Structure 1
Amino acid sequence: MKQIIVIFLSISAIYSQSLYANLTIYKDGYALVKQPVFWEDLDSDQNVIIWDVLPKGIVYNSPFLSLENANVLIQSFNKDVFHFSERLYDYLGTKVDIKLINSNDMSGTLIEVTDKTLTIQRRRSLISFNRDRVDYINVPSADNVQFKPTLKWTIQIDQEADTIAGDLTYLASGFSWNANYRFIIDSETDEAQFIAEAAINNDSNINFENAALSLVEGKLNMNEGAGNSSRSITNQLVTNPPERSELGDYHIFNIDTDMSLITKETIVTRLYPSRNVSFVKTYIFENEEKSQKDEPLSVEYDIPNTSENNLGIPLPKGEIQLYQLLENGTIEFIGKDEIRQIPRNETANISSGKAFDVLGTRKILNYDRQQKSEEASIAIQVKNSQMESIDVRLIEHIYGDWVIRNASTDYRKVDASTIHFMISVPRESSRTVTYTYRKEWK
């Protein structure tokens, strides 16, 4: 039976190039690549087609080909890429020429290859060399040298067609993305500009030109097996393509504009248009039950992820940078933080570090421990040296079976070991909160 072999040749001698692919990129280093493919001038008889524009991190048991007007009968994946150090084993028993550094050539039959030594047999002797002393080795030409992994299919054309087209789908490592946010605060309006971006990395050896990109927030379940270790993989394909890996809970961000993702390049694109949002600024003073402190308070910003706040959008996990808009229109960096995944109608909580002119002091005024009880009186003072009033959250962690007595202001029990006091402190003044906790046990 007549066979025609059609080979797709890569465009670049160094990096292969993909056109018009769809890439779904995950945060854990993998991507699902959906590559449009076509072959021209095929015979109506059975044909063999070949494709070698593949990234080095391809998951070897993942590729499958879907064709519009042909059936795939057999798929073979040959990843026996030429590596000279590995191919030396194929020359055992063969005459080779070895040139040592600062020495003459030497010929003999190669009889042993290890990671550190080479051994040849000469007419009357055996000679072993350290490999780091070898300048070069001259061996006979190799047959069927393959420079890159190659997919090959045997197909049956359903009807006469000059062109066979379809999609090649596979998983590959070497791709990743991260969410980056910028939060530019305008203190005069109590609003901020919220910018959400994605940094997309291509660490593969393939240039993806005019690619459609989708970004997945979630972890891909990859169970690495032994199937990737063989040199050649052949699958008999009937009707069912290989199953995709299970994703679990995730959200897909589709990038509206096709773009080129060049090898070893990172591109940054907007996840959403820039938005003006409101926020709640709170100063935090957090302590354990026996702590005594005198330190600046932490500054936190709560951003409701709601449609009423011009958001109401899924926010993936990432780094957020905080900036302050000054009166002259310039901005200054004031801190950065990590935010978790924030679904719609949840609140993003971010910290910009310690305040310079808001100080907290916590003292234990009295402590009494008996055989079956413990009692402590606490005083917490917050001093505000700013020219505006502030909101403060006092977080107290108390462990065991406790009750609160004689609190100077209202508190909220958050859980079995945490209470919160919410207070306001006027400009250039201070405020003190006192309370007593008591524990009893049998």
Structure 2
Amino acid sequence: MRSSIARLLLASLSAACAANVAHATPSAELISTAADRGAIAVTVYNDDLALVKERRKLTLPAGPVRLSLREVSARMRPETALLQAASGRPLTLIEQNFDFDLLTPQKLLDKYVGREVTVIRTNPASGAETREKASVLATTQGTVLRFADRIETGVPGRLAFDGVPGNLRDRPTLSVLLESAGGAQTLELSYLSGGLSWQADYVAELDGGGRQLDLNGWVTLTNSSGTTFENAALQLVAGQVNRVRPVARAYLAKPEAVAMAAPAPAPREEALLDYHLYSFDRPTTLADNQTKQLALLSAARVPVEREYLLAGADYYYMGRYDVLGEKLKPAVFVIFQNRGGQLGKPLPAGVVRVYARDSQGAAQFVGEDRIAHTAKNETVRLRLGEAFDISAERRQTSYKRITERSAETAYAIRLRNAKPEAVTVKVQETLPGDWEIVQQTQKHVKESSRGAVWNVTVPAEGSATLEYTARVKW
């Protein structure tokens, strides 16, 4: 009876060991390349982040399979990778490895430390080649080789290798060990990746009178992920998503190529929680180490206002200053409303470059400014630079300390205009603490709790002076 039980236990143990061996020993590696992709979609965020989703059609053997998915992003965040069956029977994932140690001559030599290579020398006189075996001892600060009768440093010729180690890939590869029921299947892989980012770039052209502008927006996409995404369905997310920052990693080389796309229909825009999503109807190819531009929006004859702004600072009111006066230049702004007509949609953050036509009809660059993410119906203010023909002189005419934490200050601001037409200069003063204007030659507007504004008209080729006294408590 005991011998029967022992034989039964031994048979069960042998079967279990055989099953474990079967599970631990997958069939030969199955390699999937970009040619197996049936579809790919890329959602790009502003801050060096993208969500990649792709489907690959494969025929898997039954049982344990070592599947190597090549041509994934070299900047993949492997902890975010998700592989699942989109059609066919479900898969059982056992482990996955992200191989981003890519093949280079130096990396190949490093992997052969402790192994043999063939050293090939060419006789410069006869051209005859000789071959000799050597072991690689070190590669850290130069190559050290052990021959049968000596040790040499450096590489005295060409090196021939028996093969490429399995852990050294010529393309970024996600290697997955899985259990499959076998047969034709469509697998879906999704992951987050760095190396992909986008920004908006705008070109604005003012008309001759500076009263209207034509605005064209472009999406500028940069791909330095280490792989190419061909015919990808592209979506862009505008807004700053919160991310847990990983430990800093080396950044890949900056893009070298620049491709300008032809004008195309604007993408579809929709709200996505508290962000905005832009979807392009036409697939596009995002080549590695490339910057690509795609049309974002176009609006013609947008009404604009020009503003000359002379802005002050709160420290002007807390002490005595140079009575000789301070020479200043007003800033020039172009202002328009993001509403109605061909606008009235969220504008992603980016740089707006402004051009104006000269008397010969040629467009000339007149300034640029960066806008933040701008919602529908908000005001866009573009600072172009400083006015050439308008100048100002600020002079403190009196200062009186009332208490330890209060004072009364008077200023005279003289504005000069060399233009052949009258202009209005917006004088914007920032005042500290509690304040009041106790005397003024022109009535101010209280724009906020810390700001007083005077809109001063300056005649053509003339001047105007604003005088006021402010009492402040801090």
Could you tell me which residue of structure 2 aligns to residue 181 of structure 1?
Answer: 202
2:384 is aligned, of 352, 359, 362, to: 352
Answer whether contact 1:19 1:210 (CA < 8 A) is retained.
Answer: no
Offset, 1:139: 5.6
Could you tell me which residue of structure 2 aligns to residue 205 of structure 1?
Answer: 226
2:97 is aligned, of 71, 77, 96, to: 77
Distance of aligned partners of 1:375 and 1:6 in 2 relative to their CA distance in 1, 3 Å threshold: same
1:33 is aligned, of 52, 64, 71, to: 52
Amino acid at match of 2:231: N
Determine if the alignment matches structure 1 residue 403 to structure 2 residue 428: no
1:279-323 superposed Cα distances (whole Å, 9 cap, x missing partner) = 22110111232574223311112221123x642211111101011
Could you tell me which residue of structure 1 aligns to residue 299 of structure 2?
Answer: 274
Could you tell me which residue of structure 2 aligns to residue 59 of structure 1?
Answer: 77
CA–CA distance in structure 2, aligned partners of residues 35 and 97 of structure 1: 42
Answer whether contact 1:399 1:416 (CA < 8 A) is retained.
Answer: no
Offset, 1:138: 5.4
Determine if the alignment matches structure 1 residue 8 to structure 2 residue 38: no
1:191 is aligned, of 208, 212, 217, to: 212
Could you tell me which residue of structure 2 aligns to residue 172 of structure 1?
Answer: 193
Where 1:61 maps in the other structure, the secondary structure is: helix
Write out aligned runs for 1:3-152 (5 A). 6-10=30-34, 20-40=39-59, 49-66=67-84, 67-74=86-93, 76-79=96-99, 81-82=102-103, 85-86=106-107, 91-95=112-116, 109-111=135-137, 113=138, 115-119=140-144, 129=153, 141-144=163-166, 146-148=169-171, 149-152=173-176
Determine if the alignment matches structure 1 residue 320 to structure 2 residue 355: no
Determine if the alignment matches structure 1 residue 216 to structure 2 residue 240: no
With a CA cutoff of 8 Å and minimum separation of 6, indicate the structure with the bigger relative contact order: 1
Where 1:420 maps in the other structure, the secondary structure is: strand
Distance of aligned partners of 1:206 and 1:422 in 2 relative to their CA distance in 1, 3 Å threshold: same
1:284 is aligned, of 284, 292, 309, to: 309
CA–CA distance in structure 2, aligned partners of residues 258 and 95 of structure 1: 48
Could you tell me which residue of structure 2 aligns to residue 237 of structure 1?
Answer: none
Answer whether contact 1:318 1:339 (CA < 8 A) is retained.
Answer: yes
CA–CA distance in structure 2, aligned partners of residues 45 and 91 of structure 1: 33
Offset, 1:334: 0.5
Taking structure 1 as the reference length, what is the TM-score of the superposition? 0.78
Max Rg structure: 2
Farther off after superposition, 367-376 or 284-293? 367-376
Distance of aligned partners of 1:404 and 1:252 in 2 relative to their CA distance in 1, 3 Å threshold: same
Answer whether contact 1:72 1:153 (CA < 8 A) is retained.
Answer: no
CA–CA distance in structure 1, aligned partners of residues 61 and 109 of structure 2: 40
Answer whether contact 2:111 2:165 (CA < 8 A) is retained.
Answer: no
Answer whether contact 1:51 1:151 (CA < 8 A) is retained.
Answer: yes
Distance of aligned partners of 1:258 and 1:417 in 2 relative to their CA distance in 1, 3 Å threshold: same
Answer whether contact 2:61 2:180 (CA < 8 A) is retained.
Answer: no
Percentage identity across paired residues of the two chains? 23
Root mean square deviation of aligned Cα: 3.8
Q: Where is the helix percentage greater, Structure 1 or Structure 2? A: 2
Distance of aligned partners of 1:95 and 1:270 in 2 relative to their CA distance in 1, 3 Å threshold: closer
* Structure 2 unpaired stretches of 5+: 1-21, 124-129, 250-271
Write out aligned runs for 1:291-330 (5 A). 292-307=325-340, 310-326=342-358, 328-330=360-362
Answer whether contact 1:18 1:206 (CA < 8 A) is retained.
Answer: no
* Structure 1 unpaired stretches of 5+: 12-16, 229-246
Answer whether contact 1:18 1:207 (CA < 8 A) is retained.
Answer: no
Where 2:330 maps in the other structure, the secondary structure is: strand
Where 1:263 maps in the other structure, the secondary structure is: coil
The number of residue pairs the alignment matches comes to 409
